[in-house]
Structure 1
Amino acid sequence: MQMLNIGSEISRANRWKAKGNQNQVERAIFRALELIDLTIEAQRGKHSLKEFTRMRETICDYYLGDNFYRSTGEQIQRDFDMFFPCARP
């Protein structure tokens, strides 16, 4: 469920980025990062920790950094979209 919440914030950030509103992009990304950090803390000692820290790094690079990894908002969103079918009853 947490991945859906993070994905929703990423979706918001992408919409605001398309509209050119960097302030709202940052607000959405900071909410997503807070959720990621809480998830990382809950995963301490488990195998998936590396994937969450890599996800955090990629998101920070694209939305707040210099985009060293040459990511796109669509690529990042696609990573979260795969969780949406799992949420349906």
Structure 2
Amino acid sequence: MTDQLQSLSEGRWKEMTLAEQLGNIGSEISRAFNWKNKGRAEMSLRAVDRALGLLDLSLAAGLPYPRLKELSRAREVVADYFYGENGYGSTEKNLRAYFDWFGVMARNRL
């Protein structure tokens, strides 16, 4: 676990709303796409790994079932897109749109 993830796991992450958590995860997903589009596969996968690590922190936070289901599906889709065969048919556009919405919600405190 990186120092940053270790720091988040020790308390700050659990204090964030689900929208804040998914907004931060979305930032890593955006970084992954930006690096991928620049042809920097290694940097892209590092960002994906950070996003998956943050999703794991959220899953470990003990949220109610509907939120766990949402987080589990998000993790599954992200891993499938970047590491699997993209069986869900995800696109960069729809993954960005999904996660960006949470960033907007967190910023506007919806």
TM exceeds 0.5? yes
Equivalent residue number for residue 73 of structure 1 = 92
The Cα shift of 1:45 comes to 4.8
Count of residue correspondences? 89
Residue aligned with 1:47, SS: helix
> 2 CA distance for matches of 1:15 and 1:5?
15
RMSD over aligned CA atoms reads 1.5
The reply on whether 1:58 has 2:77 as its aligned counterpart is: yes
Correspondent of 1:7 among 13, 23, 26: 26
Q: 2:35 aligns with which of 16, 22, 43?
A: 16
Deviation (angstroms), 1:17: 1.2
Tell me the secondary structure at the aligned position of residue 65 of structure 2.
Answer: coil
- The residue number in structure 2 matching 1:31 is 50
Structure ranking higher in helix proportion: 2
Output one character per residue of 1:23-77: Cα deviation in whole Å (capped at 9) or x when no partner: 0111000000000000001035533111111110100011111111111111111
Identical residues among aligned pairs (%): 44
Q: Which has the larger radius of gyration?
A: 2
Q: How far apart in 2 are the matches of 1:47 and 1:83?
A: 16
C-alpha distance in structure 2 between counterparts of 1:84 and 1:67, whole Å: 24
Any unmatched runs of 5+ in structure 1?
A: none
Report the TM-score, using the length of structure 1 for normalisation.
0.89
Q: Indicate the residue corresponding to 2:61 in structure 1.
A: 42
| Structure 2: 5+ residue stretches without partners | 1-19
Q: Distance in 2 between matches of 1:85 and 1:47?
A: 21
TM-score, normalization: structure 2? 0.73
